[in-house]
Chain A
């Protein structure tokens, strides 16, 4: 049994909503990916298996479409739209992110598909509010993150360098996270009432409320945060937290020590690795150790506290720079300090902790007679585990199976194929 067993979702293929479909499919929903003739445009997205392009070789498509079933459907024909209507009538959810007017002009607007099917939940994801003042604007992951707030807060101390878009389609991901959260709210509500509803997701708005202080510093105090290298943007500059270790790799040294016992442990650590003699501010660490607790809010008001904090930072920086990044990460964490090694995505897959918890996930590709390692579960459910039930669908792979389920006979299916509808 999975968390979403029995939930049938129809997803109209689009790069903006693909991840939402994956989140549902990997939790057990039956997600039917509907692609246009020739396949979704994302089948042409790099990188490709062995760097050779082809509709079944996009690793991006592979990742975003795990556990889904697929068929090709020409929605520009009335026959194709009738097939869609019949599949949707059998489904619990329709997920789409078409351009604002396309489905209306085809006579398959999500809200219209709910007529006579009041249990259906429809979700429309759009870059901007549908029918809102910016509805016609074009957007990509880059422009969503740049216009919606995140990029303003990301980048470097040197402001001659541009603000930075975080990598990996995170703007689309944020929109998809909200789409799934909203769908699940509607589903839990439907469990009680039997009635579905329509959901609009504004992806620009989703970025706007995923900026932490970027937004609320303005909302509450009308102050503007400024970007800084590898740490929180702030109204006032804060000391660096990224340090290069002796092996050239980087770590994040985290928040400064706040408890007296932390200061004692910093001093012990300096002693242990023979750096106590090199560190000029031992006396300040000593003073820190005599406090029970140092409030971060005192930094601005108390110059001695400020110096004690700074001494702890300096000590951690000295320690980090004196040893390899791996050693610093583990030594610090084992001493109770919240620090992190800066891994690249692939290094996560090789890390013993992630391996021990089974994060790397093997997925069979029977058509290639091979299996590949995918990124794994974002959460661990004790009785309905996340799982990749199958690799992404080949183009049109499940057409017969999907159409049979909604009572198309073999002859009808053959006919649709002949007409070029599927």
Chain B
């Protein structure tokens, strides 16, 4: 265990084999709260197992293994070392590192870690109270244990792609790896709960995370509607995920606003909201829904929802989305412009007041903004200042200071391809 340094997790050391986002996102969160995360990469392929390492976006014209923007985003505040585990000396050094680590994390396909001689049992032989958290598509057991995934595949198989979309269209799914983010969140929770349990009992354990199971656990009410009432989500005119069935709200959706690809979201939660919406719409002079008998109750609005959505679109389409959302909010109605990236990053009073986009210093990229953390702790808050490590950037510190190798030995290990 490390000496505490006043940060929340300053006493925790993580020997980290994660990559991409599904794994790296978990250890980023822990690193931001002070955990010492030592990211281990394979020198023989320059850490390319993580396909984000040198990938887009780029800050400027430069390209290279250390210049990937998404890699930087997901690996801030971590240390980076290279270690070739196919070589005997590499294995030995890894064992020494595990001896002084609290947690081992990885998100390889199932079986990879075991083939490296690093099954939970073998890890326990190195350090009895070790916490081992693995995250893969289908977990380490069951008929699909060997199947491989990335975010969109997890989303497809877990039911999340299907539950996002419009009737009479294919699934819209998620325009990003929601389950890479969310898989990382579950991985972070698992690590922290296992640490707490170890603090109480002295025992480590293995957490086998199957990302598709984590995804499948996020559709609970729809699953109960099937298992209890026999009503599947796959049925005519279903799903329509811009509408709200639980609870029933009408109107409820994303409607066009003035301008190209401009949209406004409105949720009418109750009769008070409906009266406010009617009054603002009537001000525009185009319509007075209060005198329309089709819409004078929730059941009527549900029955005539298609007609109402068309009428709402005609109304909203005439207005600038931020101004209309502000008018609705002033009347107590939940509404928002569908914000574009530049708007919510650079012009959103909430995200800037929060300090959501910290600037880090990256050794080669320079100053870059990254995703921050949407929680603040009153006593031991997060800190994100250092960019992602360049390949092997912390070899001297980790192998020298932590494991006690001298500079000559480190240099010759580098020469031999161990580091």
Contact = CB atoms under 8 A, between A and B. Distances in A.
Contact of A143 (B148, B166, B210, B335): B335
A45 B245 CA distance: 8
A176 to B, nearest CB: 10
Most chain B CB neighbours (cut-off 10 Å) among A3, A167, A339: A167
B221 A63 contact: yes
A345 B162 contact: yes
9 contacts: A47-B221, A165-B242, A168-B219, A181-B189, A202-B374, A208-B348, A212-B180, A219-B345, A379-B209
B416 interface: no
Most chain B CB neighbours (cut-off 10 Å) among A139, A161, A255, A342: A342
B246 interface: yes
Question: Which of under 10, 10 to 19, 20 to 34, or 35 or more describes the interface residues of B?
Answer: 35 or more
B21 A372 contact: no
B408 interface: no
Given A204-B351, A349-B223, A139 B334 contact: yes
B205 A384 contact: yes
B337 A147 contact: yes
Given A50-B229, A156-B172, A343-B156, A202 B354 contact: yes
Nearest to B346: A218
A233 to B, nearest CB: 4
A78 to B, nearest CB: 27
Contacts of A156: 166, 169, 172
B274 interface: no
A241 interface: yes
B338 A168 contact: no
Interface in B370-393: 370-380
Contacts of A221: 56-59, 69
Contact of B247 (A44, A138, A177, A377): A44
Contact of A187 (B196, B256, B341): B196
B90 interface: no
Interface string A49-86: 11100000001101110000000000000000000000
B395 to A, nearest CB: 26
A344 B176 contact: no
Nearest to B120: A382
Interface string B1-33: 000100011011000000001000000011001
Contacts of B158: 343, 348
Contacts of A167: 163-164, 219, 222, 239, 241
A405 B59 CA distance: 58
A121 B404 CA distance: 39
A39 interface: no
A332 to B, nearest CB: 9
A374 B224 contact: yes
B160 interface: yes
A214 interface: yes
A159 B224 CA distance: 34
A329 B268 CA distance: 41
B338 A347 contact: no
A151 B216 CA distance: 20
Contact of A186 (B8, B165, B342): B8
Contacts of B285: none
Interface string A371-393: 01111111111111000000000
B356 A345 contact: no
Most chain B CB neighbours (cut-off 10 Å) among A185, A187, A336: A185
A159 B256 CA distance: 11
A151 B262 CA distance: 12
B153 A296 contact: no
Contacts of A51: 229
B3 to A, nearest CB: 11
B313 to A, nearest CB: 9
A220 B223 CA distance: 39
Contacts of A230: 152, 161, 170-173
A185 B141 contact: no
B331 to A, nearest CB: 10
B49 interface: no
B166 A132 contact: no
Interface in A141-182: 142-143, 146-156, 159, 161-170, 173-175, 177-182
Given A4-B193, A205-B354, A133 B337 contact: no
Contact of B265 (A142, A185, A208, A384): A142
A14 to B, nearest CB: 14
A108 B223 CA distance: 37
B293 interface: no
Given A146-B254, A182-B375, A296-B51, A232 B244 contact: no
B57 to A, nearest CB: 4
Interface string B268-310: 0100000000000000000000000000000000000000000
Contacts of A166: 160, 163-164, 173-174, 178, 241
Most chain A CB neighbours (cut-off 10 Å) among B9, B174, B187: B174
A219 to B, nearest CB: 4
B223 to A, nearest CB: 5
Contacts of B147: 333
Given A3-B196, A46-B247, A132-B350, A202 B181 contact: no
B334 A153 contact: no
Interface stretch (A311-319, A350-358, A409-417): A350-358
Interface string A211-227: 11111111111111101
A346 B229 contact: no
A139 B370 CA distance: 26
Contacts of A383: 197, 203, 205
A87 interface: no
B154 A209 contact: no
B119 interface: no
B163 A168 contact: yes
Interface in A222-243: 222-225, 227-233, 241-242
Interface string A389-401: 0000000000000
A47 B150 CA distance: 32
Given A146-B338, A297-B55, A378-B213, A138 B329 contact: yes
B267 A142 contact: yes
Contacts of B148: 333, 336, 338
